[in-house]
Amino acid sequence: GENVEQHPSTLSVQEGDSAVIKCTYSDSASNYFPWYKQELGKRPQLIIDIRSNVGEKKDQRIAVTLNKTAKHFSLHITETQPEDSAVYFCAASRGGGTSGSRLTFGEGTQLTVNP
Amino acid sequence: GAVVSQHPSWVICKSGTSVKIECRSLDFQATTMFWYRQFPKQSLMLMATSNEGSKATYEQGVEKDKFLINHASLTLSTLTVTSAHPEDSSFYICSATTPLSGLAGQVSYNEQFFGPGTRLTVL
């Protein structure tokens, strides 16, 4: 089955700096890679996703890059703000078909943005 | 759009009792629902995949007789934790998804919409 590894487990940055979180996956058939932000005691919130037919996607301060050959993808947050502090999870799935859409999550990264 | 609710949001029960958690898609028909368990400071672990009208598919290591899943309609799935024990205390989260043809232009096929979670504490 799919295995997703995420690094680092904790990340502390100063407000205004950039933050980068990296994930690797094992299943070459995976083609959908979402990123979630989860605040304590709340549901995961989709912040950006990318499909395997593109290499990069950007949404304001957030961007995701995908390297299919190397099987890794990264989340980039620029101009970080204290409200960006949360746990971030990457995930991967094959997509297509009801069972194929199951997500495998990384272990999570606790991001702390210091004012 | 694409709102998923869970009920209850939290529950405390005695060891040995059963607890039922409901997951509802409020504004779309969910052909597939997923149940996750999340322990403190850990990731979401998929417990089972539930397709409407069929038996759930459980992940390896998840006891199907202990975690009963029913997906009787396109908007409701239930998870029943039977004979709960303190080690079952966790945050249980459901998610729902639907094919692109159901909500074209609004929902991607792959995107899962998460419920707010249910905090279960077994005493």
Decide if A95 and B109 are in contact by the 8 Å CB cutoff. yes
Question: Taking CA atoms, what residue in B is nearest to A31?
Answer: B110
Q: Tell whether the model's pLDDT for residue B105 goes beyond 60.
A: no
Closest CA to A33 of A43, A23, A42: A23
- The model's confidence at residue B34, banded by pLDDT at 50, 70 and 90, is very high
B1 has pLDDT over 70:
no
Residue B111: per-residue pLDDT: 79
Q: CB neighbours of B5 closer than 8 A, spacing ≥ 6?
A: B23, B24, B26, B115, B116
How far is B92 from B44, CA to CA, in rounded Å? 9
Q: Which residues of chain A does B50 touch, with a Cβ-Cβ cutoff of 8 Å?
A: none
Asked if A99's CB is within 8 angstroms of B57's CB, the reply is yes
Hunting for tokens 């419920």 — which residue is that?
A: B115
pLDDT at A34 over 80: yes
**Calpha distance B80→B118 (Å, rounded):** 12
Determine the pLDDT at residue B42.
95
- Whether B23 shows a pLDDT value over 50: the answer reads yes
Q: What is the mean pLDDT of residues A97-109?
A: 80
Distance (Å) from the alpha carbon of B74 to chain A's nearest alpha carbon: 13
**Which residue of A98, A99, A110 is the best one to mutate when testing the B interface, meaning the one whose CB has the most B CBs within 10 A?**
A98
Report pLDDT for A53: 80
- Going edge to edge, which strands form the sheet with B76-81? B4-7, B19-25, B76-81, B67-73
pLDDT per position as a tens digit, B35-87: 999 999 999 999 999 888 888 999 999 999 999 999 888 899 999 999 999 99
- For A39-51, what is each residue's pLDDT tens digit? 999 999 999 999 8
Pick the closest to residue A114 from A16, A24, A22 (CA basis).
A16
Model confidence over A39-94: pLDDT tens digits?
999 999 999 999 888 899 999 999 999 999 999 999 999 999 999 999 999 999 98
The reported pLDDT for the residue numbered B6 is: 97
Task: Give the mean model confidence (pLDDT) for residues B85-94.
Answer: 97
Q: Which residue has the higher pLDDT, A97 or B13?
A: B13
The pLDDT score that the predictor gives to residue B104 is 46
Structure tokens at B41: 């400071």
Q: Does A7 touch chain B (CB under 8 A)?
A: no
Higher pLDDT, B107 or A62: A62
Q: What is the mean pLDDT of chain A?
A: 93
